[in-house]
Amino acid sequence: MNTNKPLQNIRLGWLPFVVIAVTTLAAIAISIYCLSHGRVTIFQNLFYFPIIIACVYYTKRGFAFSVVLSFIYLFLIISFTRNSTVAIEVLIRVFIFVGVAGVVTFLSIMRKRAEERLEATALDLQRKTELLEISNRELEAFSYSVSHDLRAPLRSIDGFSKAILDDYSDKLDEQGRNYLCRVRTACQQMAQLIEDMLMLSQVNRSEMRQKEVDLSALAKSIADEFMQNQPQRKAEFVIAPSITANGDEQLLNIMLHNLLENAWKFTGKHPSARIEFGVTKKEETTVYFVADDGAGFDMKYADKLFGAFQRLHTTEEFEGTGIGLAIVQRIVSRHGGKVWAQGEVEKGATFYFTLV
């Protein structure tokens, strides 16, 4: 993990020390030369450079060094001049040196503490992220295991219920047959829910195989499948040609299938339907979309659309388990993109997504 290190921890080795030593010796040498030739003021600012570097890199020790260097400067001036006015100016200059050193030292200490707190926060965030990833993996494994193990008993219940209806239907009254039909319906709904949960787990666990994918071809194949299964429906699919994206073909196929199935389902109660798959640009970003003119939804519930088991309609209105759009959101996230929706009740919905 990359974190911001304090300057003291940057591997500069002896470089700051060497720079401070060289600039200090240079300042002293130039000062002696200037003083010996009667020039008092032109070299004074040379001392700021080693003072600031020392305080930035060595904080408290740098401040102590700055105090010593300030008194060396005072000693040099006193040694070469006897003017009281110059002596007062030099004393003021010494106080300025010490003051600058103190301010720089204080700021360096504050910066160091802030960077240490930032590093500690980053490490704590990393630990929490690792724990969250472990918990998510364990939860996914548990979900997969439970879902997988539930399928066998459900098949048994459904199978025996069907056997009773087939073999003993004449011995049951209407109420008994109705009870068994309701048991079978519940088993089939539960089986579909388990399949969707397994699909959701598989989406999170499967390995990504990136390549260029023809989304238009995938969408057309899915649309043809829907039309073959329900040829009596008056539905028009409008699929833009030559739409491609870089991603995992299997996952993108699952995503498109869920989006188009969602549009197919929620236009089912209209006498005719128009479902469109296309692409547009938004601030130089490629945005794909699936639009329909079906039941739509109230935008105040838009934040619930992509949560697992979240439904805006009852199962009596529209069948489903409430996991399809959660699968879409997971697949888009795994591709580094975003998904969102816009809709209006009985005026259709449009689902947008991006892929990185």
As a whole number of angstroms, the distance between CA 76 and CA 73 comes to: 5
Q: What is the largest CA-CA distance in the chain?
A: 128
As a whole number of angstroms, the distance between CA 17 and CA 25 comes to: 12
Q: What are phi and psi of 238, to 5 degrees?
A: -115, 105
Going by C-beta distance under 8 Å and a sequence separation of 6 or more, which residues neighbour residue 205? 140, 144
Going by C-beta distance under 8 Å and a sequence separation of 6 or more, which residues neighbour residue 197? 143, 147, 323
As a whole number of angstroms, the distance between CA 297 and CA 346 comes to: 7
pLDDT digits (tens, 9 = 90+) for 24-75: 777 777 766 666 666 655 456 666 667 676 776 677 777 777 777 777 776 7
Is 54 in contact with 64 (CB distance < 8 Å)?
A: no
Structure tokens at 134: 């472990």
As a whole number of angstroms, the distance between CA 238 and CA 291 comes to: 10
Bridging pattern class, strands 273-282 and 235-239 = parallel
DSSP code string of 284-348: TEEEEEEEE-SS---GGGGGGTTSTT--SS-TTTS---S-HHHHHHHHHHHTT--EEEEEETTTE
pLDDT digits (tens, 9 = 90+) for 269-299: 889 999 999 999 988 899 999 999 998 888 8
According to the model, what pLDDT value does residue 6 have?
42
The 3-state DSSP class for residue 274 equals strand
Q: What strand order describes the sheet that includes 285-292?
A: 235-239, 273-282, 285-292, 348-353, 339-344
Question: Which helix (H) or strand (E) is 175 found in, with range?
Answer: helix 174-205
Nearest residue to 296 via CA among 262, 345, 341? 345
Question: Which helix (H) or strand (E) is 349 found in, with range?
Answer: strand 348-353
Could you tell me how far CA 174 lies from the centroid of its own chain? 56
DSSP code string of 219-248: HHHHHHHHHHH-TTS-EEEEE-TT-EEEEE
Model pTM?
A: 0.56
Q: What are phi and psi of 83, to 5 degrees?
A: -75, 125
Helix, strand, coil fractions of the chain, as percent rounded to 5: 65, 15, 20
pLDDT digits (tens, 9 = 90+) for 295-311: 888 888 888 888 776 66
As a whole number of angstroms, the distance between CA 313 and CA 266 comes to: 10
As a whole number of angstroms, the distance between CA 327 and CA 256 comes to: 10
Along the 356 residues of the chain, how does pLDDT read in single tens digits? 444 444 444 445 567 767 777 777 777 777 666 666 666 554 566 666 676 767 766 777 777 777 777 777 767 666 666 655 665 666 666 667 667 767 777 777 787 888 888 989 999 999 988 888 887 777 777 766 776 677 788 888 889 999 998 888 888 888 988 999 989 988 887 887 777 777 777 777 778 889 999 999 999 999 999 999 999 999 999 999 999 999 999 999 999 999 999 999 999 888 999 999 999 998 889 999 999 999 888 888 888 888 776 666 666 666 766 788 988 999 999 999 999 999 998 899 999 999 98
